[in-house]
């Protein structure tokens, strides 16, 4: 794994990050001396996020992408591994360091309906981070709220509204304004547009792109929408059952996906172009349960290119080209 | 020719002390062997059309105008008994949440077999054989064991396969599928849509009304499409033609707002403003407050859906 994929020191970096959730029923089993059963939601993930860029993390349900997003912000403790923010392990930070980190790293969540407190007016919701960090005087905070509302395409009248009085797109703007309140460096956006209609999604993506330009923001975009990924990100990491199976610059990945799972995933995306109809017979089987992932390469039971040793050897994520890493035995030879 | 005909269907909801039109004057025909897409943004009335056809509307809703014909049966004035017979035989529906169609108290086998016995008058062993056959057809491994399982033991994709098995079990002529894959992963979505096309359309010549908000799904699996805005169809025609040459300003804006292929990083087209709510529908063309081409007349007169030379239908004064 290279520390300088494109020369710059990464702003955020995960090193060997894993998160295993014990199963409740297995706690009892452990007491009785049996081996604890766990879900390996995230397994030995290493990746770099470059300042000012957008890294997309894609995968289907159960691939561990949201858990990874939460680990990157220390919203939960890892089982093993580190997350380095500007070189400091966020899980080792003292209170002061952590408080500084929490200002600089914000999150935007998928469901603007669920993530905003329904009993708070919009102005309070956006002001809350400023209140917590005691930024300026109350008058200054209120002025900042108005500026933020303006910035995300709302106006000061919206400050008095409750979330229930806003449309889905407007609520997502409130979530974005609140995330921006403390002028963060990095924003982790977990499916930020997947509950929005396409026209509202377009407005939201345009806004996020503008904000990135204006404030040199770094984004980690967690999504299953490959159209959004292609439009928005610089690099992409593809996850399958807790592991990164491929990582590459967006253009490279879309031009020539290498991992068979990436290829299957891409072939299953419904392209909005009837002149490019694809054979949808291709993806076979269901994703296996994360409780009991297949041995060897987790993808082997569904893989159209499976080989005899795929069920015994777990492939490592290795560079196949500059900036591109793939975890597949098909490429294991040329890798080193 | 047509399996299902909607003629001037208008459906209203009683809300806030008055009746509000959710679906206004909608007409189209569903043909044998086609998948007809019904697209539009949230709240435009897609599901209301589905429930109007099935006559499964909420208690505060009524069909206030128009007719729906299933062959020679007028569904809008059919008796509840007649409807019961039709639903699940000639006319079937699957939903976004497959659990809607499954009863959590009974095994999957029990439910599939019961449907078969009820509608096809099969004896128990024959119904069981047919059930196994159906589960295999929709791609459920170890079908024998699965018959004994309860719905909660299935993933979303598996449940939707079973709902599909039940829906196709009696060879319906018409399937209404309301966002059947919206809650599923893309690889599973691809499989389910493929099954619908193969098992229903290609093998049985049925007609499918596929409701979705995903233009990618429309482009990939539909033959024709109706684009809805605020309760009305604004454009209708062959998928190829509409994606190549969208006529209505709303269809154009919708297609341009999609993030994808090639258009990296450029700003996506915004449709200004927002979808009007039911109690606040604009006069004239309902799209006029958001339309970049609106003329003075657009505020006053509602343009009718008119057929043009190539067969594409559009409701917009620019094409009068
Ligand atoms: N039971 C009801 N009472 C009052 N209004 C309703 C009711 N059901 C639906 N509506 C309204 O009717 C309109 C059409 O709703 P419908 O569910 O048909 O839209 P849709 O196109 O299916 O949207 P979605 O894409 O979100 O599923 C909406 O404005 C909705 O709020
Ligand atoms: S009728 Fe007028 S407002 Fe409506 S879509 Fe056409 S040009 Fe625009
Ligand atoms: Mg609906």
Distances (CA, A) of A178 to A140, B120, B126, B314: 16, 58, 61, 42
**How confident is the model over A1-60, as pLDDT tens digits?**
444 444 567 999 999 999 998 865 555 566 666 666 788 899 999 999 999 999 999 988
**How confident is the model over A169-219, as pLDDT tens digits?**
788 889 999 999 999 999 999 988 777 778 778 888 888 998 999 999 999
Tokens 């007349």 found at: B297
pLDDT average, residue stretch B283-307: 96
Are A287 and B187 within 8 A, CB to CB? yes
* Nearest-Cα residue of chain A relative to residue B265: A231
**pLDDT value for A336:** 39
Distances (CA, A) of B264 to A228, B38, B194: 10, 28, 30
**pLDDT value for A258:** 96
**How confident is the model over B58-109, as pLDDT tens digits?**
999 999 999 999 999 999 999 999 999 999 889 999 988 887 778 888 898 8
**pLDDT value for A1:** 40
Cα separation, A326 vs A244, in Å, equals: 8
Nearest to B258 among A60, A61, A198 (CB): A198
Chain A residues with beta carbon closer than 8 angstroms to that of B253? 199
Chain A interface, best mutation among B162, B185, B271, B272, by max A CB count within 10 A: B185
Closest atom of ligand 2 to CA, residue B295: 2
Residue A324 above 60 pLDDT? yes
Are B271 and A202 within 8 A, CB to CB? yes
pLDDT category, A335, cuts 50, 70, 90? Answer: very low
Does the structure's ipTM exceed the value 0.90? no
**How confident is the model over A218-253, as pLDDT tens digits?**
999 998 888 889 888 999 999 999 999 999 999 999
Backbone angles phi, psi at B243, to 5 degrees: -75, -30
Distances (CA, A) of B142 to A25, A299, B137, B153, B193: 26, 20, 12, 14, 22
Cα separation, B111 vs B120, in Å, equals: 14
Provide the β-strand partners of residue B227. B39, B235
pLDDT category, A115, cuts 50, 70, 90? Answer: confident
**How confident is the model over B171-226, as pLDDT tens digits?**
999 999 999 998 888 888 888 999 999 999 999 999 999 999 899 999 999 999 99
**pLDDT value for A33:** 63
Name the token pair of A248.
Answer: 């590459």
**Mean pLDDT value across chain A:** 87
pLDDT category, A334, cuts 50, 70, 90? Answer: very low
Backbone angles phi, psi at B211, to 5 degrees: -90, 130
Beta-sheet pairing, B207-212 with B224-229: unpaired
Tokens 């109706």 found at: B226
Q: Whose CA is nearest to atom 6 of ligand 2?
A: B316
Q: Whose CA is nearest to atom 4 of ligand 1?
A: B13
Q: Provide the whole-model pTM.
A: 0.86
Beta-sheet pairing, B313-314 with A318-321: unpaired
**pLDDT value for B212:** 94
* Nearest-Cα residue of chain B relative to residue A60: B185
Q: For A12-331, give the CATH class.
A: alpha beta
Q: How far is B262 from chain A (nearest CA, A)?
A: 8
Tokens 């979808």 found at: B275
Q: What's the B4 CA to ligand 1 centre distance in angstroms?
A: 22
**pLDDT value for B315:** 98
Cα separation, A167 vs A145, in Å, equals: 19
Are A280 and B257 within 8 A, CB to CB? no
Identify the CA nearest to B209 among candidates B72, B66, B78, B29.
Answer: B29
Are A278 and B220 within 8 A, CB to CB? yes
Chain B residues with beta carbon closer than 8 angstroms to that of A268? 186-187, 189-190
**pLDDT value for A5:** 46
Q: Tell me the DSSP string of B27-80.
A: EEEEPTT-EEEEE-STTSSHHHHHHHHHT---TTEEEEEEEEEETTEEGGG--H
Nearest to A270 among B155, B191, B216 (CB): B216
**How confident is the model over A56-114, as pLDDT tens digits?**
999 887 788 989 999 999 999 999 999 999 999 999 999 999 999 999 999 988 766 67
Are the C-beta atoms of B183 and A266 separated by less than 8 Å? Answer: no
**How confident is the model over B102-146, as pLDDT tens digits?**
888 889 888 889 888 888 888 888 899 999 988 888 888 788 888
Q: Tell me the DSSP string of A288-317.
A: PPTTSPPSSSTTGGG-TT--GGGGT-----
Nearest to B217 among A209, A265, A270 (CB): A270
Are A280 and B258 within 8 A, CB to CB? no
Assign 3-class secondary structure to B128-180. Answer: HHHHHHHHHHCCCCCHHHHCCCCHHHCCHHHHHHHHHHHHHCCCCCEEEEECC
- In what order do the strands lie in the sheet containing B73-74? B18-30, B4-15, B61-70, B73-74
Residue A140 above 60 pLDDT? yes
A/B interface, count of CB pairs below 8 Å: 131
Name the token pair of B205.
Answer: 């010549």
**pLDDT value for A228:** 86
**pLDDT value for B97:** 81
* Nearest-Cα residue of chain A relative to residue B263: A231
Helix (H) or strand (E) holding A217: none
Q: What's the B42 CA to ligand 1 centre distance in angstroms?
A: 8
Nearest to B216 among A230, A250, A271 (CB): A271
Q: Whose CA is nearest to atom 7 of ligand 1?
A: B13
Backbone angles phi, psi at A323, to 5 degrees: 80, -5
**pLDDT value for B265:** 56
**How confident is the model over B154-174, as pLDDT tens digits?**
778 888 889 999 988 889 999
Among A282-291, B257-266, B272-281, the range of highest mean pLDDT: B272-281
């Amino acid at each position: 794994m290279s520390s300088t994929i494109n020369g710059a020191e990464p702003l955020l970096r995960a090193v060997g990050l894993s998160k295993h959730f014990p199963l409740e029923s297995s706690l009892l089993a452990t007491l009785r001396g049996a081996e604890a059963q766990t879900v390996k939601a995230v397994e030995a993930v290493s990746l770099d996020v470059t300042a000012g860029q957008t890294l997309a993390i894609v995968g289907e349900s159960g691939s561990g992408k949201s858990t990874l997003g939460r680990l990157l912000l220390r919203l939960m403790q890892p089982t093993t591994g580190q997350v380095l923010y500007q070189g400091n392990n966020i899980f080792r930070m003292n209170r002061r360091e952590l408080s500084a980190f929490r200002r600089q790293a914000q999150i935007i969540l998928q469901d603007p309906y669920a993530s905003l407190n329904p009993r708070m007016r919009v102005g309070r919701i956006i002001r809350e981070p400023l209140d917590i960090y005691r930024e300026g005087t109350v008058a200054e905070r209120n002025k900042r709220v108005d500026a933020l509302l303006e910035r995300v395409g709302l106006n000061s009248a919206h400050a008095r509204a409750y979330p229930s009085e806003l449309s889905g797109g407007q609520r997502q703007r409130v979530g974005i304004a609140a995330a921006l309140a403390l002028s963060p460096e990095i924003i982790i956006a977990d499916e930020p547009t997947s509950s929005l209609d396409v026209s509202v999604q377009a407005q939201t993506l345009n806004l996020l792109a503008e904000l990135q330009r204006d404030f040199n923001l770094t984004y980690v975009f967690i999504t299953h929408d490959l159209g959004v990924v292609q439009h928005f990100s610089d690099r992409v990491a593809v996850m399958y059952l807790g592991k990164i199976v491929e990582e590459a610059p967006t253009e490279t990945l879309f031009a020539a996906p290498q991992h068979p799972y990436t290829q299957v995933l891409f072939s299953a995306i419904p392209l909005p172009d009837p002149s490019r109809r694809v054979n949808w017979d291709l993806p076979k089987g269901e994703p296996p349960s994360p409780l009991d992932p297949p041995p060897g390469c987790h993808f082997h039971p569904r893989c159209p290119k499976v080989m005899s040793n795929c069920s015994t050897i777990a492939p490592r994520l290795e560079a196949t080209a500059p900036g591109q890493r793939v975890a597949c035995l098909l490429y294991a030879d040329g890798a080193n | 020719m047509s399996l299902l005909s909607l003629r001037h269907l208008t459906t209203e909801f009683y809300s806030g002390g008055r009746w509000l039109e959710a679906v206004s004057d909608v007409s189209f025909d569903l043909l044998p062997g086609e998948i007809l897409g019904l697209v539009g943004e949230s709240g435009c009335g897609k599901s209301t059309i589905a429930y109007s056809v099935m006559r499964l509307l909420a208690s505060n809703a009524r069909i206030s105008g128009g007719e729906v014909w299933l062959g020679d049966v007028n569904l809008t004035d059919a008796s509840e008994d007649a409807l019961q017979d039709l639903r699940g035989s000639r006319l079937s529906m699957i939903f976004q949440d497959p659990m809607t169609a499954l009863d959590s108290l009974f095994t999957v086998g029990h439910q599939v077999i019961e449907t078969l016995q009820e509608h096809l008058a099969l004896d128990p062993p024959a119904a069981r054989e047919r059930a196994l056959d159906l589960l295999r057809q929709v791609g459920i491994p170890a079908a024998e064991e699965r018959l004994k399982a309860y719905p909660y033991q299935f993933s979303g994709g598996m449940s939707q396969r079973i709902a599909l098995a039940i829906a196709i079990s009696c060879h319906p002529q018409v399937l209404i599928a309301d966002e059947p894959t919206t809650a599923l992963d893309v690889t599973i979505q691809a499989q389910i849509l493929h099954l619908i096309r193969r098992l229903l359309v290609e093998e049985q010549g049925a007609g499918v009304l596929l409701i979705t908000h995903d233009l990618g799904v429309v482009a990939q699996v539909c033959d024709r499409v109706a684009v809805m805005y605020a309760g009305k169809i604004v454009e209708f025609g062959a998928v190829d033609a509409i994606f190549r040459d969208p006529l209505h300003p709303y269809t154009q804006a919708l297609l341009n707002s999609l993030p994808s292929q090639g258009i990296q990083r450029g700003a996506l087209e915004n449709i200004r403003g927002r979808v009007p709510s039911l109690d606040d529908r604009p006069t004239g063309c309902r799209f006029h407050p958001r339309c970049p081409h609106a003329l003075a007349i657009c505020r006053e007169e509602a343009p009718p859906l008119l057929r043009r030379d190539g067969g594409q239908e559009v409701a917009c004064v620019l094409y009068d």
